[in-house]
A = this chain, B = another copy of it.
């Protein structure tokens, strides 16, 4: 699968991060790798996108972070979802469903 480098669609990044963290707390590069994995390399999140997003979401109260140890014995900052973040995930998931349905309708028409 040639990595599709198109600009990551605005808004998809947040919901992808939230979803990954809903399964388990992870550190930054772990999140990035997991997103590539679950989307078959359709979404490749670069550091320049990832870290500003994480900081923004933490400031919004969707995440909290704490230092810990990675699987490879390295200092790593683990992010975990808050209750607010879980609500946000629900909202964004619903919004995505709506957008997806609208696009399917729009692109199907003869």
Chain A positions within 8 Å of B, measured between CB atoms, are: 4, 6-12, 15-16, 19, 23, 35, 38-40, 42-43, 93, 95-96, 98-100, 102-107, 109-110
The residue in A7, A35, A38 that gathers the most chain B C-beta atoms within 10 A of its C-beta is A38
CB distance from A5 to the nearest CB of B (A): 11
Contact in complex: A109, B6 (CB < 8 Å): no
Report which of B7, B103, B109 forms a contact with A10, defined as CB distance below 8 A: B7
Known: A9-B9, A35-B106, A107-B93. A99 touches B42 (CB 8 A): yes
Chain B, Cβ-Cβ closest to A41: B102
Chain B, Cβ-Cβ closest to A98: B42
Query: What would 16 more interface pairs be, CB under 8 Å, given A6-B95, A19-B106?
Result: A7-B11, A9-B10, A9-B11, A9-B12, A9-B99, A10-B10, A16-B103, A16-B106, A23-B110, A38-B109, A39-B103, A42-B99, A43-B102, A96-B103, A100-B100, A100-B103
